[in-house]
Amino acid sequence: MQFKRVKRNINGVLLLDKPLGFSSNQALQKVKWLFQAAKAGHTGTLDPLATGLLPICLGEATKFAQFVTDADKSYVAKVKFGMTTTTGDAEGEVIATKPVAVDRTQLEAACQQFLGEIQQVPPMYSALKHEGKALYEYARAGIEVERKVRIVTIQAITVDALEDDIATITVTCSKGTYIRTLAEDIGNALDCGAHLVGLRRTETAGYTLASSVTVEALEAMEQSARDDLLLPVDSAVESLPSVTLDEDARYYLMLGQAVWVAGQIPDTSLRLYDETANFLGLGFLQDDGKIAPKRLIKKSD
């Protein structure tokens, strides 16, 4: 007789070091199964060929996953010059080759061209949807779909190493940035072409890869040890200003009502806590000066 695994209402954020070859959804489902979590969601897609930091939100933390998804991100990328591919990375077929004569000074100068706001056309081999289908499905069928140019921001690019025709660069950028496309653009700026041969996410929303855990390590742990790795739900919104409510205000807020709070309140999303530092959820300042609930934590049973 097979016994059905009992799903748990467990809350928190797990920092996973996504392994090579896993899609973000495969990584999510693995974590969800290991924690026997009733509810889980990831916070921004990493391609199967990419590795690194993938925060997984469990339970009530899923209500705040978008704040992590929308945050800036940092990557370490390996870029191979002299070849362009159909996919912009090592998974695709080579479509052009050029000789490479690039030194570090030239590479650093080329990278500087892409600092600040830049335009990117999302690659055909991406998970973006067009009429309900992922772009990569059209690409595999040999169909080219017109994509809208998007504006992204590159906060920093540093060249860590250049050995022969392969560079290692660190990039900090806004959400929605395609590092594959950036690698291709840098290759075009150097007139030799390029594609991505490695990508590792190292930071997002204040979370760092150094604090992450591998799938193998999770599998080897007892359930209690896994649970101990979970960060609190409010870590997902730590960048937002906080407000503490007295008992009366807490009571009415949890009933869905706007409440008065003394002091200068920032006009933005707010982390709300009770007097014992329990996270209640998010609120916002109304025009009348009251704080209204925006997204609240469900009370534990």
245 shares its domain with 289 = yes
Q: Which has the higher per-residue pLDDT, 271 or 143?
A: 271
Q: Is residue 3 part of a domain?
A: no
Residues 17, 47, 185, 234: which is the catalytic one? 47
Q: Is residue 4 part of a domain?
A: no
Residue 207's pLDDT is 97
191 shares its domain with 83 = yes
155 shares its domain with 107 = yes
86 shares its domain with 146 = yes
Q: How confident is the model at residue 301 (pLDDT cuts 50, 70, 90)?
A: very low
pLDDT greater than 90 at residue 122: no
pLDDT greater than 80 at residue 2: no
Q: How confident is the model at residue 139 (pLDDT cuts 50, 70, 90)?
A: low
Residue 140 CB neighbour total at 10 angstroms = 11
HSE toward the beta carbon, residue 197, CA cutoff 13 A = 13
Residue 1's pLDDT is 46
Provide the token pair at 281: 């959820």
Q: Which domain holds residue 264?
A: 240-296
83 shares its domain with 184 = yes
Residue 127's pLDDT is 67
Domain of residue 49, CATH code: 3.30.2350.10
66 shares its domain with 77 = no
Residue 120's pLDDT is 92
Among 201, 218, 249, the domain-final residue is 201
pLDDT greater than 90 at residue 125: no
169 shares its domain with 280 = no
Among 201, 228, 262, the domain-final residue is 201
Provide the token pair at 211: 């604090």
Cα separation, 77 vs 170, in Å, equals 6
pLDDT tens digits, 249-261 = 999 999 999 999 9
Q: How confident is the model at residue 166 (pLDDT cuts 50, 70, 90)?
A: very high
Q: Is residue 287 part of a domain?
A: yes
Question: What total of structural domains would you count in the chain?
Answer: 3
Residue 180's pLDDT is 94
What integer best gives the mean pLDDT of the chain?
A: 92
pLDDT tens digits, 7-63 = 999 999 999 999 999 999 999 999 999 999 999 998 888 888 899 999 999 999 999
196 shares its domain with 210 = no
Strand partners, 57: 13, 41
**For residues 170-193, b (16+ Cβ closer than 10 Å) or e, as one string?**
bbbbbebbbbbbbbbbbbebbebb
E-strand stretches of the chain = 12-18, 40-42, 50-58, 73-81, 83-85, 94-97, 116-120, 129-130, 133-134, 150-163, 166-173, 194-204, 207-208, 213-214, 242-244, 270-273, 279-285, 291-296
Residue 145's pLDDT is 73
Q: Among this protein's residues, is 47 annotated catalytic?
A: yes
pLDDT tens digits, 48-74 = 889 999 999 999 999 999 999 999 999
Backbone angles phi, psi at 112, to 5 degrees: -60, -25
Q: Is residue 44 part of a domain?
A: yes
pLDDT tens digits, 206-219 = 999 999 999 999 99
Q: Is residue 187 part of a domain?
A: yes
Provide the token pair at 134: 């992922």
Q: Is residue 2 part of a domain?
A: no
